[in-house]
Amino acid sequence: MNPKNPKLKYKKIWQFPQETHDFIKPMIKGRSLHVCCGNSLLCDIRVDIEEQEIQKSKPGFILGDMFDLNKVLNKHGIQKQSFDFVLCDPVWNLGYHVRHLLIYQLRDQIKPGGTLVFNCLWFPKIKTMKLEDMYVGLNNMAWRNVSLIGIYKKVQSQFNFNDSQD
């Protein structure tokens, strides 16, 4: 046993730390979508590649892959640009060569004027969206990855470049 840390603490995986949940929850406005939701019950519609037991306790869970998000939602009658708020907490070690595929799937779901909250180690530059704020999750552990929470506003539709909004 390590004398510097004699007790280990365990918690369920596939969920935000409670502090992250509490930080994001007040940002949710209007019709909302959570992609890569894991155990989180935040948002009206929640999508993940694996259904966690807790998802059965609240309607709105859809089983599906983040890379096929447009097809998955369309299959449930949900059209592109249907959400005022989209939250995503993807796998943090997502390869560079596929990150853009996820970002464009998320962007397609947001109405012009809507918000994307993206929790990850990396933050993208997204056409038609403006990075409005960036937060870092601080922790006490040395050499640990930190959470970056980017808050983006969709300023223009990707489908019609003439409907710019401020």
> What integer pLDDT is reported at residue 139 of this predicted model?
67
Q: Please state the pTM of the whole predicted model.
A: 0.83
Tokens of 132: 């409005």
> What integer pLDDT is reported at residue 95 of this predicted model?
81
> What integer pLDDT is reported at residue 163 of this predicted model?
45
Q: Which class for 16: exposed (0-12), middle (13-18), buried (19 or more C-beta within 10 A)?
A: buried
> What integer pLDDT is reported at residue 141 of this predicted model?
58
Q: How far apart are CA 136 and CA 144, in angstroms?
A: 13
Q: How far apart are CA 90 and CA 111, in angstroms?
A: 21
Q: How far apart are CA 49 and CA 61, in angstroms?
A: 11
Mean pLDDT by 10 residues, the chain (166 residues): 55 69 94 94 95 93 94 96 94 80 93 93 86 83 72 85 45
Backbone angles phi, psi at 152, to 5 degrees: -115, 150
For 53, which DSSP code? G
Whether residue 117 contacts residue 24, with contact meaning beta carbons closer than 8 Å, is answered with yes
- Please state which of the four CATH numbers 3.10.20.30, 3.40.50.150, 3.40.720.10, 3.20.20.100 is assigned to the domain occupying 18-154: 3.40.50.150
Helix or strand (DSSP H, E) at 118: strand 110-120
β partners of residue 63: 48
Q: How far apart are CA 39 and CA 35, in angstroms?
A: 11
Backbone angles phi, psi at 116, to 5 degrees: -115, 125
